[in-house]
């Protein structure tokens, strides 16, 4: 069901954990499936210098969270607000429709993070 990119991010997630002395931490939940994403970032000079995640959920949710942290580093709030669920899905080689909710969960986390940092 999943391609190799999704499986690689699931088996060897990038930036798992929490940022010490984070500038902001948010937690979002998908009420339908129960996936939980906790995202923490450190901002330096107006840009994300470090991003980490802790996700409880399906393979796709963990993989999407991993790719999300890769996308975040180096971006300003204005730049990361533009990251879409479709881009997250494409970063994983396109999620199957049944698991696209994982990309939406990441987008929800970005919205919450942007609100907290402004």
Residues with Cβ within 8 Å of 39's Cβ and at least 6 positions away in sequence, in order, are 25, 26, 27, 28, 51, 52, 53, 65, 68, 69, 109, 113
Question: Rounded to two decimals, what is the model's pTM?
Answer: 0.96
Give the pLDDT confidence of 2-44 residue by residue, as tens digits: 999 999 999 999 999 999 999 999 999 998 889 999 999 999 9
Q: Write the DSSP assignment of 24-45 as a string of letters.
A: EEEEEE-TTT--EEEEEEEEET
**Mean pLDDT for all residues in the chain:** 97
Q: For residue 32, what pLDDT is reported?
A: 85
The encoded tokens of residue 51 equal: 């991003």
Parse the chain into domains and list their residue ranges: 4-117
Please tell me the distance from the alpha carbon of residue 97 to that of residue 41, in angstroms, as a whole number: 29
What is the architecture, at CATH level 2, of domain 4-117?
Answer: Alpha-Beta Complex (3.90)
The encoded tokens of residue 13 equal: 């997630």
Query: What proportion of the chain, given as a percentage, has pLDDT over 70?
Result: 100
């Amino acid at each position: 069901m999943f391609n190799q990119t999704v499986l690689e991010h699931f088996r060897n997630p990038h930036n798992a954990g929490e940022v010490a002395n984070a500038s902001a931490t948010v937690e979002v939940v998908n009420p339908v499936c129960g996936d939980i994403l906790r995202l923490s970032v450190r901002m330096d000079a107006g840009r994300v210098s470090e991003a980490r995640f802790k996700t409880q959920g399906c393979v796709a949710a963990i993989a999407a969270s991993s790719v999300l942290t890769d996308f975040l580093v180096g971006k300003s709030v204005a730049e990361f607000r533009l990251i879409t669920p479709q881009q997250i899905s494409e970063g994983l080689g396109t999620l199957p429709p049944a698991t696209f909710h994982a990309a939406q969960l990441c987008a929800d986390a970005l919205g919450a993070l942007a609100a907290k940092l402004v």
